[in-house]
Amino acid sequence: MDPAIVALPREVVPADACLVKETQNNPLTEAGEERFISSMTANPPIENSRNLPASAPRGEHASDPALPTTPIRYDIIGDIHGHADALRALLAKLGYEENGGFYGHPERKVIFVGDFVDRGPKIRETLRIVRAMTDHGAALAVAGNHEFNAIRFHTLGPKGKPLRPHTENNVRQHRATLDEIAEPFPDEWREWIAWFKTLPLALDLGGLRIVHASWCPRSLAVIGGRRFDDAELLYRSSNPDYPEYQAVSALLNGPEIELPVGVFFRDKEGHERTEIRVRWFRDGTEAGPITYRSLVLPASDHVPEVPVDVEVLAKLLSYDESEPPVIFGHYWLDPAAPRPLARNAASVDYSVAAKTGGLLTAYRWDGERVLSYEKFVTVPTRPDRPS
């Protein structure tokens, strides 16, 4: 197996690759694109104007051609969303000790799946814990959709408007981060944005793969190992006219599909929905008829039991059970019972930021090809919820 798969040469990907649904309006136009990209490269905006410390890690990432092939024992930690107290408790439960300003373990290393910011009460502290561990080689990290959103929210496009529009909904989603760091500590926040840009979008570590939402080889090929400190990638991933937009959406948000015409369901808030977020990995149930309800992620009894077109399935279920284990976050799963979603696929996002309380979750990987429910380790974000 080629451990540098995520750094394959870039290629054009069809608009329907990984079945990502375009859901946001395009705030950009062709006019000024070349000027924007060249100015970002020659004269970086304030968000990228300061150099990272020399210790900022870039090794062991997906774009590194010398990735380790001998399994290291990893603890993969899910979406944190500013829950620093839960993070400290989970690290302690996993056997990590704080020494010299960072948490470390003599035999293991953490991998963070992204989504450090927004929603939670201690975002600044969370970032400091994560960054200290990555800077000292005690952890690896990939970008989540909330880091990507933050970068674009605070970066101006070619027409002088933010790459992520400051709509009421976008501001509300980012409000906790704005209140705690971005507005009271703008210089420090610029440093965090610069660091977010250095995070890879995926890691292929030989026997283990890490991504925030979905492992889509065609999307990884489009990205070609680039990160968001590449001005062209940042611009194009914000513009639906480019394949990079579809590729980044697949990796950081996961695939969505439309329900058949005339079919809908109502979500838990009573809103009528005609599209669903779906799984992209095979779970061993594909021998019989596959319905929209059997594909929806997270599971929902509200989605109708309508068969899915075979052509849609052929494009969607791209991750076979013969592939190496892949661990991801993003999906706000039911915290009642963390478990693998397939023999070789597991999410470590069990609703950490839920108002009713969720679980900050880790998976302890020791080189196994078949994932086990016994390897999940959790701590609650509310004292009254059992771990």
Is residue 387 in a domain?
A: no
Tell me the whole-structure pTM to 2 decimals: 0.84
pLDDT of residue 329 exceeding 60, the answer is yes
Residue-wise pLDDT tens digits, 126-171: 999 999 999 999 999 999 999 999 999 999 998 899 999 999 999 9
Is residue 275 in a domain?
A: yes
Nearest Cα to 374, choosing from 350, 349, 346, 333? 346
> Of the given ranges (135-144, 335-344, 375-384), which has the lowest mean pLDDT?
375-384
Is residue 24 in a domain?
A: yes
Mean pLDDT of all residues in 330-335? 93
Mean pLDDT of all residues in 82-99? 97
pLDDT of 197 reads 98
Is residue 51 in a domain?
A: yes
Two tokens, residue 6: 């995520």
Is residue 56 in a domain?
A: yes
Residue-wise pLDDT tens digits, 276-328: 889 999 887 776 788 999 899 988 888 888 888 887 887 788 899 999 999 99
Query: Around Cβ 249, how many Cβ atoms within 10 Å?
Result: 26
Number of separate domains in the chain = 1
pLDDT of residue 208 exceeding 50, the answer is yes
pLDDT of residue 370 exceeding 60, the answer is yes
Angle at 231 (CA atoms; ends 200, 125), nearest 5 degrees:
50
pLDDT of 309 reads 83
Burial of 147-172, coded b for 16+ CB within 10 Å and e otherwise, reads: bbbbbbbbbebbeeeebbeeeeebee
End-to-end CA distance of the chain: 37
Q: DSSP secondary structure string, 78-101?
A: ---TT-HHHHHHHHHHTT-EEETT
User: Please, which pLDDT band fits residue 273 given cuts at 50, 70 and 90?
Assistant: confident
> Of the given ranges (83-87, 171-175, 182-186, 298-302), which has the lowest mean pLDDT?
298-302
User: Please, which pLDDT band fits residue 22 given cuts at 50, 70 and 90?
Assistant: very low
Residue-wise pLDDT tens digits, 50-76: 233 333 334 344 434 334 454 589 999
pLDDT of 274 reads 87
Cα 192 to chain centroid distance, Å, stands at 17
Is residue 227 in a domain?
A: yes
Is residue 23 in a domain?
A: yes
Is residue 225 in a domain?
A: yes
> Which residue range is the domain that position 19 belongs to?
5-380
CB-based contact 240:249 (threshold 8 Å)? no
Q: Cα–Cα distance between 330 and 351 in angstroms, integer? A: 9
pLDDT of residue 91 exceeding 60, the answer is yes
Lookup result for tokens 């309006």: 25
Mean pLDDT of all residues in 233-245? 96
Q: Which residue has the higher pLDDT, 118 or 2?
A: 118
> Of the given ranges (22-26, 217-221, 271-275, 358-362), which has the lowest mean pLDDT?
22-26
